[in-house]
Chains A and B, each alone.
Chain A
Amino acid sequence: MFWALYLVFGCAVVEETMLEVQKIFYFHVSSAFVAFTAYAFTCVCSLLYLIRKSEKFDALGSASAEIGLVFCTIVLVTGPIWARFAWGTWWNWEARLTSTLILWLMYIGYFVLRAMLDIDLRKTYSSVLGVLAFLNVPIVYYSVEVWQDRLHPPTNTKSQLPPSMTESWLVSWLALTLLYVFLLILRTQLVQMKSRIDVLQYDQVNR
């Protein structure tokens, strides 16, 4: 992480038209990658939970969704700052922006649902929603793309960046992904501990 920060602020070439603001790019794009990875992982875990009914997958899936939500929020906060300088507007209805927003809204719904349910229904229902929500993402993406013309650069522009930028970006992406894995492990342990406490408390009350 510190290495990434050093590279981003120390080594990478300052972009000509946008100066320092361009440095958001490293964290914005990396966070977006991590958020999508996290949600894909949630979808896989949800499916596995529905098939296997193992507590472990529910803990992993919900922890991953939670971290995904944090990274998604980072994307949505840094995105408009970037957009203000690059396109001269805080927000527009471009496909990737819109689908990220809708993704964010759907996972807020995921946590509202979890908070409102009893412990036994919570796991199954949130897994069902985890699958439904993730499958909706490509549909939203393609429909918004047709709905509004695109502004984001096509995804294969990495090769046009100067080497110091590419290097910094790769390192910050790696750093954030490692951070995600680290948080995921911690959070999963926490969720498992919490459910154990719930069970113990339940036993205590009903004794």
Chain B
Amino acid sequence: MDVIRQVLWLVHKDLILQFRTKDTLVLVFMFSLLVVLAFVFSMGPFFSFGLEERSKLAASVLWISFTFAGIITLTRSFDVERSDGAVHIIRLAGVDPSNFYISKVLSNFIFLTVLEFILTPVSLQFVESLDLVSVITLFKLLGILSIGTLGLCAVGVILSGMASTTRGKESLLSVLLLPLVIPVIMAGTKCTVSLLSTGTLQGTFWIMLLILYSLVFLTISYLLFEFVIEG
């Protein structure tokens, strides 16, 4: 019971910080929107090619922009903790390192999922794919995106905890994180393409991979996070 209370308090604290200061919120939101726009501008104003190709474009736009948004969000969420030694104060308050890990995963997950829920329809409209999908498919897509985000956060939080102690924060985090989340990106885009072009998931392999990946890395990082905080 104590565990849940601790985690909830920490998540509450993180979300209040995020939504009151608003700098991360605006920054990440604008950044992902601009990544989507950069894609659109590079692929040309008319998307006259076939359904399959268009779904591929939409999938890559979404996953690339959310992965980068994730990198920024994760870096910022540990910046707050590392400056002024807030981590040590949290530790002194008697918070267990693994509870701290869970709370960080949850708060980043919630933040990114909110971002995805807002940006996904907009991005789909930008690549002229929104009117092709039904509302149910859109919700399925958001489900896939949130599982992928969970996997991203599971690995990202532990790596960001390490990268935040160095000078190179964001760039170091991307060098460490991107090779590790390649399975998430692959599985996520495969699911997205098949959802957008057929409306259903063809085969369960990729969705199982996403779930498995999230679970494996949640468990391992949960066990290893203690070392990252203790140093």
Contact = CB atoms under 8 A, between A and B. Distances in A.
Interface of A: 50, 102, 105-106, 108-109, 112-113, 116-118, 120-121, 124-125, 127-129, 131-133, 135-136, 139-140, 142-144, 146-147
Complex A-B, nearest 5 residue pairs according to Cβ-Cβ distance, in ascending order: A116-B166, A105-B179, A109-B176, A143-B183, A106-B179
B179 A125 contact: no
Contacts of A106: 176, 179-180
A147 B206 CA distance: 9
B162 A113 contact: yes
A28 B205 CA distance: 32
A112 B224 contact: no
Interface in B216-231: 216-217, 220-221, 224, 227-228, 230-231
B187 A143 contact: yes
A131 B216 CA distance: 13
User: Main secondary structure on chain A at its contact with chain B?
Assistant: helix
A112 B175 CA distance: 8
A125 B187 contact: no
A121 B205 contact: no
B103 to A, nearest CB: 19
A143 B162 contact: no
Contacts of B209: 139, 142-143
Given A116-B166, A139-B213, A128 B180 contact: no
Given A128-B162, A128-B228, A140 B182 contact: yes
B191 interface: no
Interface in B155-173: 155, 158-159, 162-163, 165-168, 172
Given A50-B227, A132-B180, A132-B220, A117 B165 contact: yes
A109 B227 contact: no
Contacts of B140: none
A120 B183 CA distance: 32
Given A102-B179, A132-B220, A146 B205 contact: yes
User: Main secondary structure on chain B at its contact with chain A?
Assistant: helix
B138 interface: no
B162 A129 contact: yes
Contacts of A108: 175
Interface in B199-221: 205-206, 209, 212-213, 216-217, 220-221
Contacts of A139: 183, 209, 212-213, 216
Contacts of B220: 131-132, 135
A49 to B, nearest CB: 10
B106 to A, nearest CB: 20
Given A117-B165, A140-B182, A132 B224 contact: yes
Contact of A128 (B158, B166, B168, B172): B158
A116 to B, nearest CB: 4
Contacts of B179: 102, 105-106, 109, 133, 136
A128 B167 contact: no
A116 B186 contact: no
A144 B224 contact: no
A109 B224 contact: no
A117 B183 CA distance: 28
Nearest to B183: A143
Given A139-B212, A143-B182, 13 more contacts: A102-B179, A106-B176, A112-B172, A112-B175, A116-B166, A128-B227, A132-B158, A132-B224, A133-B179, A136-B183, A140-B182, A146-B206, A147-B186
Interface in B14-45: none
